[in-house]
Chains A and B, each alone.
Chain A
Amino acid sequence: MNKGFINRILPFSSVDGPGNRTAIFLQGCNFNCLYCHNPETINICNHCGKCLEVCKMDALSIVEGKVKWAKDNCNHCHRCIKLCKYNSSPRVFEASVEEIMAVLKKNKVFISGITVSGGECTLQIPFLVELFKEVKKLDLTIFVDTNGSIPLWNEGEFVTLADQFMVDLKSIDAQEHKSLTGSDFNIIVDNIKYLSKLNKLHEVRTVIVPNLLNNRRNVEETSLLVASLNPLIKYKLIKYRGLGVREGLINDSSPTEEDMNKLEKIAKDNGCEDVQII
């Protein structure tokens, strides 16, 4: 049976695509962004057991060499996550397609569809393909939130099953991208073009971090790219917020409203019709 590593399932989400969606966050990411807001989603737990020491609720234990999380005992204090030096979380669980479908069936009448996110969800494509086939039977839409690092043109079945994609384009400069994420960006831009051709590109996003990134250039060029593909594609400008970010990696504050409005104007002037500041 095909199982996925899941960080969290959010039954109702208002911010992961249009309408109300059940957001499924998969564990594991191939990027290591300096400003990552959820660093505990980066690695699959190595079961070192260190986090057991800080849990005061008896929610963690080691069973057959693996960390086990007792959800009902947990008070969501996040002490375990803060302690973990390995960018992981003991609360990650393995779930089968059937287990996830049970959650979706219960909430089906309330949602437009699902969004798979992460971590980086495309690292678990075989599992997602199985899941998507079942989700389609419920007549729900499927959105994929990805960093665009896996060449999607090689993943025909996966792309066909998904309805829409939301892609992060973190920087438009090869070197800046590399130093921020640890990865190259060519594949991402190619994915953006590929998905847009299929009419499956719902949104492109750029995170604005003052001082660290050349935000102006990123927005300038990304918005030109988006507008050239289809001006109706949503272009989201996301304010960097310190919350959840690892200490000591970047020392930066959130952009001001004025900064954001200026960037929004650039994107609109470049032809993007649906620009949103988050």
Chain B
Amino acid sequence: MEEVLNVIKDKTLTYQQKVIGLARIAENSINVLSIREDIEEYRQEGIICDLYEGNAPYRPRYIVPNYEKFMAKGSEFLGLKPPTDIWEAINNLLILYKHVPSITSFPVYIGNIDTLLEPFVTDEKEARKAISFFLTHIDRTLTDSFCHANIGPLETTAGKIILEVEKELQNAVPNITLKYSDETADAFAIQAIDTALVTAKPSFANHEIYTKDLGNYAVVSCYNGLPIGGGSHTLVRLNLAKLAEKTTEIETFLKVILPDAIEKMVTYMDERIRFLVEESEFFQTNFLVKEGLINLENFTSMFGIFGLAEGVNHLIQPQNQKEKFGHGDVANDLGMKIIKNIYEIVNQHKANYCNASGGKYLLHAQVGTDFDHGISPGCRIPIGDEPEIHEHLLQSAKFHQFFPAGIGDVFKFDKTTKNNPKYILDIIKGAFTIGMRYFSLYCTHSDVVRITGYLVKRSDMEKLESGEQVLHDTVVLGLGSVKNQKVLDRRLRKDE
């Protein structure tokens, strides 16, 4: 068990990171899933990838507790009564967070924190202090950037304080999404942009579209849209860049290779979910289920794809920049055709235990991970190939309707836009009008940067690279992505 010893001796891992690493090795030492040989081959090739989910699913990947219910009822298992003031409220939440499982052991969703706390904001000064403690506690103990809070869509005092405090603290955790709709006050949205230009969050979610697709939803982990009181059993992703390499013929790809790969992937997902729901005892025993904070009926699962750009470029072999994905009509049309095909085929498959989405898997444009060398997230235009921003928005938005479980683009702005945050709000309003689902932004000069979907501090990546331990486990992923996916080299959006 050399692997175990390596984890124990790793100088860059904190104690907690070692414990989680050792648990992962233990889980992966057994093989309880029945996986067809041809599927296993695709897994080995990296065409089908479950992103560290482990060999024996014993908890859903994404759990989205109904925190509103928890605030109203407390928890019998945790021995907590409903809170009566802001200190009890944050204390209760911080306790529950430590008991929400995920594959990293940190919660991927921590609630619509402004509306959860708003009823307890009586004295603004006290609320500010409580919220500042609350957010610092989260950053230092839930040490994983996939931990995600939501705010909005309406302006609240708690919401304004959260933005104010985050602007000051500049923490990487939690990730934050502002649910944005016509009802969101401009002043609140501008405050959110102002904060995002300093600390790369919040991102903006198109509240209208998410609500239409998912009902009562939350944005969790990177930008995954999922039903509240449920979640997603699994996320497996299909590497379109690698899959495309199996042929040079577009027709063969569309008619043979792609449908076959989708069949393999859904079969693999079915098996993971079967074990989790029918054998692992999670849904039969966990207090979150027993107390109704989550319910199997509200679960779905995510069919992820990534590397569309590279897949398309491989199939059409562009002769110059103008013919590449994101620029040329032939490339863009093929990209759309591939996604439509995937959408149709995946929708024909009957998925068990996915009642939240009508017994179907939901498409998710996966953001990639640290070891994806030169492969772009989801349907994104590769970094370095990005067209001017107005063209970019029009091209990307077309894909967003197919991905209820998450898709988004990240835009990097120059620091001069701090003088005119309404400039960015206008762009977001337009993007949402043409159907974009999710919009992230950050500023060239900030320490906290958005890697693909999650946030990491530049200063932490520098520490890790020099061999020091860092608190957040996602810094490792961030550093890998900076090296392999060139994420800091996104096109700078100035005036174009």
Contacts and interface: CB of A to CB of B under 8 A. Distances in A.
Interface of A: 10-15, 18-20, 23, 106-107, 109-112, 276, 278
11 contacts: A12-B390, A12-B423, A12-B427, A14-B417, A14-B423, A14-B494, A106-B390, A110-B393, A110-B429, A111-B430, A112-B426
A19 B393 contact: no
B425 interface: yes
B327 interface: no
Contacts of B495: 10, 12-15, 23
A106 B393 CA distance: 12
Contact of B420 (A11, A18, A107, A110): A18
Interface in B341-362: none
A145 to B, nearest CB: 14
Given A110-B393, A111-B426, 9 more contacts: A12-B389, A15-B419, A18-B422, A19-B422, A20-B423, A107-B430, A109-B433, A110-B390, A276-B419
Contacts of A14: 414, 416-417, 419-420, 423, 494-495
Contact of B496 (A12, A110, A276, A278): A12
A19 B424 CA distance: 7
A15 B496 CA distance: 11
B20 interface: no
* Interface secondary structure of B, over-half rule: helix
Contact of B427 (A10, A15, A110, A276): A110
A115 to B, nearest CB: 11
B431 interface: yes
Contacts of B431: 110
A109 B496 contact: no
Interface string B421-443: 01111110111011000000000
B388 interface: yes
Interface of B: 388-390, 393-394, 414, 416-417, 419-420, 422-427, 429-431, 433-434, 494-496
A152 to B, nearest CB: 26
A82 B434 CA distance: 40
Nearest to B432: A109
Given A10-B495, A12-B495, A19 B390 contact: no
Nearest to B419: A276
Nearest to A22: B390
Nearest to B420: A14
A120 B76 CA distance: 73
A19 B388 contact: no
Contacts of A278: 419
Most B C-beta atoms less than 10 A away, residue of A106, A110, A276: A110
Most B C-beta atoms less than 10 A away, residue of A19, A107, A112: A19
A257 B416 CA distance: 16
Contacts of A111: 426, 430
Nearest to B494: A14
Contacts of A106: 390, 394
Report the 10 A-B pairs with minimum CB-CB distance, sorted nearest first.
A110-B430, A20-B426, A109-B430, A14-B423, A19-B422, A109-B433, A20-B423, A19-B426, A13-B495, A11-B390
A238 B296 CA distance: 61
B425 A19 contact: yes
B444 to A, nearest CB: 14
Contacts of B388: 11-12
Nearest to B431: A110
Contacts of A10: 495-496
A18 B393 CA distance: 21
B170 to A, nearest CB: 23
A10 B494 CA distance: 11
A19 B423 contact: yes
Contacts of B416: 14-15
A38 to B, nearest CB: 14
A109 B420 contact: no
B57 to A, nearest CB: 43
A257 B422 CA distance: 26
A127 B434 CA distance: 31
Most B C-beta atoms less than 10 A away, residue of A20, A23, A111: A20
B296 to A, nearest CB: 41
B485 to A, nearest CB: 26
Contacts of B394: 106
Nearest to B434: A109
Contacts of B414: 14
Contacts of A112: 422, 426
Contacts of B419: 14-15, 276, 278
Contacts of A18: 420, 422
A110 B429 CA distance: 7
B426 A11 contact: no
B496 A20 contact: no
Contacts of B393: 110
